[in-house]
Amino acid sequence: MGLPNVGKSTLFNALASRRLAETAPRPFTTIEPHEAVVPVRDSDLEKLAELVKPEKTIPATVTFIDIAGLVAGAHKGEGLGNQFLAKIREVDAIVHVVRAFYDPSVVSQNEKYETGSQEQIYDDIEIVNIELELGGIKDKPSVIVLNVGEDDINSLDTKEKIIAVTEKFKIATIAISAKIEEDLIDFNEDERRQYLSQAGVSETGLEKLIKTAYSMLDLITFYTIKGGKEVHAWSLKRGASAIEAAEKVHTDFAKGFIKAEEILVHRLLELGRQVGETHHDIWTLAREKGLVKLEGRDYIVQDGDVIEFKVGS
């Protein structure tokens, strides 16, 4: 979310890897919120899939919602503000997109300051914060995304703005060029990696945003291996119990829960490296070697646990 014409829908299109939301240089391009279920890139999941060789690999996901731009007076209904604020109240966390690029062809909602300036960035953030506060929306986990120009993604000026915004608003802040991210949609994986290498970055802005959102929501990842045919990564609130993890996989697993067998994914991968491809069932081998632990319903699931749930009828 953010003010109109700051690049929210452009960024959302990149997240959704499809141009679902219309983008145009005018306010209120987006009216109905769009949702995108975005996979979380996970190197451990990829390695686990290489080891198990399942028919299907399913990553953990984060759902992003594209909400039309807020304007001053949104809490009074300005710019369909009540409708949009109601949607914001429903989410678990906020990604606040702020214009930090200069483009005279894109209408700016802030006529007091030069677009892309530190003053404009501060003022835009303050406008949205006031509307959220007046709308009764407080204390939601948040991240500020500075939408910078294509040539500014690694500039000293951008790095200084990230530091300044973080210090002033005490909110995690990252910089993304939404236009670059949208352009990357049409690249294949090799072309994308080559582009990133030339740009001197190790990951896309979207990957950084997804990781930030995952951390901001205080989520961990656990894995299940369904009969060797499906490797699945699941997101779970940090501090959740084995019974809650079982319910995440299937409500029947929670109802019939007997015990959970668990091993950290790094230990399972290490065992795989030791035996190579000489053993067809890595889970059974781990159990035979005493590496798999039995846990009860109150066990606190750890980030990176691989779990097999034992359930009764």
Report the CATH number at residue 242. Answer: 3.10.20.30
pLDDT tens, 29-43?
343 457 888 888 899
Q: Are residues 209 and 223 in the same domain?
A: no
Query: What mean pLDDT, rounded, does the chain reach?
Result: 85
Per-position DSSP letters for 153-164, written without gaps between them: TT-HHHHHHHHH
pLDDT tens, 97-153?
999 988 776 767 767 888 889 999 999 999 999 888 888 888 899 999 999 998 888
Q: Of residues 280 and 64, which shows the higher confidence score?
A: 64
pLDDT of 82 over the 70 cut: no
Q: Are residues 191 and 245 in the same domain?
A: no
Give pLDDT, residue 280: 65
The count of domains in the chain is: 2
Is residue 36 included in any domain, yes or no?
A: no
DSSP letter at 92 equals S
Q: Are residues 166 and 74 in the same domain?
A: yes
Q: Of residues 141 and 71, which shows the higher confidence score?
A: 141
Per-position DSSP letters for the chain, written without gaps between them: --STTSSHHHHHHHHHTS--S---SSTT---S-EEEEEEPP-HHHHHHHHHH--SEEE--EEEEEE-PPP-TTGGGTGGGHHHHHHHHHHSS-EEEEEE----TTS--S--SS-TTSHHHHHHHHHHHHHHHHHTT--S--EEEEEE--GGGTT-HHHHHHHHHHHHHH-SEEEEE-HHHHHHGGGS-HHHHHHHHHHHT-SS-HHHHHHHHHHHHTTEEEEEEEETTTEEEEEEEETT-BHHHHHHHH-HHHHHTEEEEEEEEHHHHHHHHHHHTTS-S-HHHHHHHTT-PEEE-TT-BPPTTEEEEEEE--
Is residue 122 included in any domain, yes or no?
A: yes
Is residue 305 included in any domain, yes or no?
A: yes
Find the mean pLDDT for residues 244-255. 93
| Distance (Å, whole) CA 194 – CA 207 | 16
Is residue 45 included in any domain, yes or no?
A: no
| Distance (Å, whole) CA 205 – CA 239 | 29
Last residue of a domain, one of 216, 241, 263: 216
Q: Are residues 295 and 276 in the same domain?
A: yes
pLDDT of 52 over the 80 cut: yes
Which structural domain range is residue 125 located in? 8-30+67-216
Find the mean pLDDT for residues 235-248. 96
Is residue 50 included in any domain, yes or no?
A: no
Q: Are residues 89 and 237 in the same domain?
A: no
pLDDT of 25 over the 70 cut: no
pLDDT tens, 196-223?
787 777 788 888 898 898 889 999 999 9
Give pLDDT, residue 76: 58
Q: Are residues 89 and 112 in the same domain?
A: yes
